[in-house]
Structure 1
Amino acid sequence: MIQESVSAGTRPGQHFRNFSVRLSPTPRGARLARLLTAEQLRSWGKPVDPAGQIVAELAANAVTHGRVPGRDFRLTLYVIANTLRIEVTDTAGDRPPRPGRPGPDAESESGRGLLLVEALADRWGWAPELRPRKTVWAEVVLPPDDVQGRHGS
């Protein structure tokens, strides 16, 4: 199920936009999350990166660490003024996200996704939801629309 809405904000010219979709907790669902994010941001006239990379990592984590068979994960994007908020909600609320701190000779890639999110996002965190869910979120400050228009042409 895909939901999208756009509404006027509290200040002239300010808009609130959101997009939400439930996806299967599979590698295909994680890829679809990234592709849908890119398409949605383009349709809103917003830059795809770093948001696309952040969604890829959070969706991969939801599929790898937050997967409960038969339960979807949800991707939600919000744009309020110049901030994009990305939320990925999974059904493994008993497993909080933990950024890995692998050493230089570590063979495992596990845990590095949240380090990447930490590096790319302006803010990130997580919150428990109604049992058994949790939401991992990240926020990216977007360039003003007039700057995007000059560079995007």
Structure 2
Amino acid sequence: MLKTVFPTILLIVCSLSYGQNNLENTDLKYDFAGKLSTDELKFTKLQFDWDSEDILIVNYTQLRTDCHFDNHTHKINSGKWWRKFYSETDISNSLVVFLCSEKHEGIKGLYVDRTNFFLKHFFSRKKSCFAVLIINKNGDYLQFNGHYSEEQVSNYTQYLKSLL
């Protein structure tokens, strides 16, 4: 029995360590990585009407109380800035959304984390003014809290697409 159990255990351990090292050996700088549960992925797809794209990019604005300045004042006139940001970013076959921790009146296309699902599951782990969460359609994700660049978003997106 030991002859059949040992190779199976060794194969499982090697497989698990390869998956971890695969991410650890990349040049990606991120705060958190993981995989959504089936229920979390279902909820996320419903929340943003995410259906056909391979990647979901969530640009998150944290609670005002978690930031050293009013990080919500920029929301009203930020469309031009974000268009430029994403025009210089490789986001092919991606859905880009903007999620805010607090409600704002009159801002078209801004999602609000009404149930605090994203705050509780992702953005309360490291407080910052802004964050990005990028998820592939299988539920694998990378998250960075703080100011992030076009290059980071492109690199995360390409890495997560490679896992599909």
Q: Whose RCO is larger (CA < 8 A, sep 6+)?
A: 2
Q: Same fold (TM over 0.5)?
A: no
Which of the two has greater strand per residue? 1
Which of the two has greater helix per residue? 2
* Bigger Rg, which one: 2
TM-score bracket for this pair, using the shorter chain length = under 0.3
Q: TM-score, normalised by structure 2?
A: 0.27
